[in-house]
Chains A and B, each alone.
Chain A
């Protein structure tokens, strides 16, 4: 969708995207010539159409969740179904993290470089990737996950 300032015959440019309010987005465009501003207010269906494409409306944020060439998560941001992945771990996963009432596993620290690599994982895979790698590191007595540890995991699992 593009917007045209009819009096100036100039394409309008996006200024701000407001946070989703009950499924509605407020997207403000302005004419670079006369400065006239207008807002596009989407209904939930329109918001969902864009969200379903797996893209985000607006300028790049360069946050941890984005990487070159990869569409940003959604207009709403965040994982499309991470809540389900995070709240309904598989039996294997429950076993790995100690199970209900089990002892809390020791904390494992991620280096900045390893975190950056994890950030490239799609959001719907990330919680499981994090848990699995931390378990792999703990099993080897490591308290830190760096790029070498990630490469070791790849090699170990024949990837």
Chain B
């Protein structure tokens, strides 16, 4: 009797064919992207999205072609922060054009489609059992976005990942070996502990971790023009990957993000200077990856 592997095709269900075709379309759509970088953490609330956008601006200011895919479908914040909440989606000849910020950063965020007062929901044949299928559906949505939008020629495509160490690994598996990871923590042992787990999980899967950024590392006091401590104790546990920089919390920046951060908002401020240095280290890390691959 024949086995599964003796039979070519799937008898007409076309399920595998469709998945394969979509993967090919994604690979084609991303063929013009030089570097894929996922910004994750494992821990929530550490400023992944803010840092992703700030880095995008810092890289854009160097003349690089940048886009952001807000992969945090359940808590999308890039639409508001990048000022593309009311974005126009224009069908191109083959794919959909990517909404852009004033300085030309392409941004896809579910937040451009769904108002903040609504939660992302999917039609389901198994209503009330979403724990059995929801993650699969979200990755299918990510695949559809990657396949349908016009990424074009980019120097960097930044993925703003959702929180959760297990989600970070799932995204790593989905995005594949082309993607490098940048992790974000804050100066607390709790956060570093979670990020350490993400580093361990990513390393197990041979995913490339460029390093980590310590966010909210003190705060910038405009009155004193100095960085003051924000957390009581300075954390020191080793994460096993390079630290690309420490970014002070800047109240003005937090306000800018709520309002839709204009390009160059951080210019001349301590956080802006640090972010420029981090952007350079990120590029150095990516170049070194290229040299070694």
* A residues with CB within 8 A of B: 1-4, 6, 9, 11-15, 20, 23-24, 27, 29, 44-45, 47-60, 69-72, 74-76, 78-81, 83-85, 88-93, 117-118, 120-122, 124-125, 128-129, 132-133, 136, 150, 153-154, 157-159
Residues of A within 8 A of B126 (CB): 23, 44-45, 47-48
Contact of A90 among B22, B85, B129 (CB under 8 A): B85
CB distance from A154 to the nearest CB of B (A): 5
Across the interface, which residues of A come within 8 angstroms of B133, CB to CB? 45, 48-49, 51-52
Q: Check if A117 sits within 8 Å of B143, measured CB to CB.
A: no
Q: Contacts A4-B1, A45-B132, A157-B100 known; A20 to B125 CB distance under 8 Å?
A: yes
| Shortest Cβ gap from B108 to chain A (Å) | 9
Residues of B within 8 A of A15 (CB): 12
Cβ-defined contact, A57 with B91, below 8 A: no
Question: Which interface residue of B19, B125, B137 has the most chain A CB atoms within 10 A?
Answer: B125
Taken residue by residue from 79 to 121, chain B's Cβ proximity to chain A (1 for < 8 Å, 0 otherwise) reads as 0000001101111111111111000100000001111011011
B280 contacts the other chain (CB 8 A)? no
Q: If A54-B143, A154-B92 touch, does A6 touch B129 (CB 8 Å cutoff)?
A: no
Contact check, A11 vs B2: say whether CB atoms are below 8 A apart.
Answer: yes
List, in ascending order, chain A residues with CB within 8 A of B15's CB: 1, 50, 53, 55, 57
Give the interface size class of chain B. 35 or more
- Could you tell me the distance in whole angstroms from the C-beta of B122 to the nearest C-beta in chain A? 5
Q: How far is the CA of A11 from the CA of B8 in the complex (A)?
A: 9
The 3 nearest A-B residue pairs measured at CB: A14-B12, A54-B140, A23-B125
Structural contact, A3 and B11, CB atoms closer than 8 A? yes
| Contact assessment for B90 and A159 in the assembled complex, using a CB-CB cutoff below 8 Å | yes
- The reply on B24 being an interface residue by CB < 8 A is yes
B12 touches A90 (CB 8 A): no
User: Roughly how many angstroms separate A55 CA and B117 CA in the complex, as a whole number?
Assistant: 29
Q: Which of B1, B95, B126, B147 has the most CB of A within 10 A?
A: B126
A-B contact count, CB below 8 Å? 196
Given contacts A54-B140, A122-B145, contact A11 B7 (CB under 8 A): yes
On chain B, the residues within 8 Å of A9 by CB distance are: 1-2
Min CB distance, B39 to chain A, in Å?
Answer: 24
Dominant SS at the B interface?
loop
Where the two chains meet, the residues of B that have a C-beta atom closer than 8 Å to any C-beta of A are 1-2, 4, 7, 9-15, 18-19, 21-22, 24-25, 85-86, 88-100, 104, 112-115, 117-118, 120-126, 129, 132-134, 136-137, 140-141, 143-145, 147-148, 150
Among candidates B14, B21, B140, residue contacting A70 with C-beta atoms closer than 8 Å = B21
Which residues of chain B have C-beta atoms less than 8 A from A88's C-beta?
Answer: 114-115, 117-118
User: Could you tell me if B88 and A122 are in contact, using CB atoms closer than 8 angstroms?
Assistant: no
Interface contact A117-B93, CB-CB below 8 Å: yes
Of the candidates B24, B96, B112, the one having the most CB atoms from chain A within 10 angstroms of its own CB is: B96
Residues on B with C-beta less than 8 A from A79 are 123
Known A1-B13, A129-B89; judge A159-B113 contact (CB<8 A). no
- Bound form: Cα–Cα A104–B133 in Å: 41
Most interface-central of A24, A55, A117 (chain B CB within 10 A): A55
Inter-chain contact B98/A29, CB cutoff 8 Å: no
Q: Of B13, B21, B96, which one neighbours A69 at CB under 8 angstroms?
A: B21
Q: How far is the CA of A31 from the CA of B126 in the complex (A)?
A: 31
Residues of chain B contacted by A57 (CB below 8 angstroms): 13-15
Alpha-carbon distance between A89 and B113 when the two chains are bound, in angstroms = 8
Name which residue of chain A comes closest to B137, CB basis: A52
Across-interface contacts of B25 in A (CB, < 8 A): 69-70
Flag if A80 contacts B88 (CB, 8 Å): no
A31: min CB distance to chain B, Å? 10
A74 contacts across to B, CB distance below 8 A: 123
| B90 adjacent to A133 (CB under 8 Å) | yes
CB–CB A154/B90 < 8 A: yes
Specify which chain A residues have a CB less than 8 angstroms from the CB of B113 in the assembled complex: 85, 124-125, 128
Q: Which residues of A contact B10 (CB under 8 A)?
A: 1-2
User: A81-B123, A159-B100 in contact; A120/B95 too (CB < 8 A)?
Assistant: yes
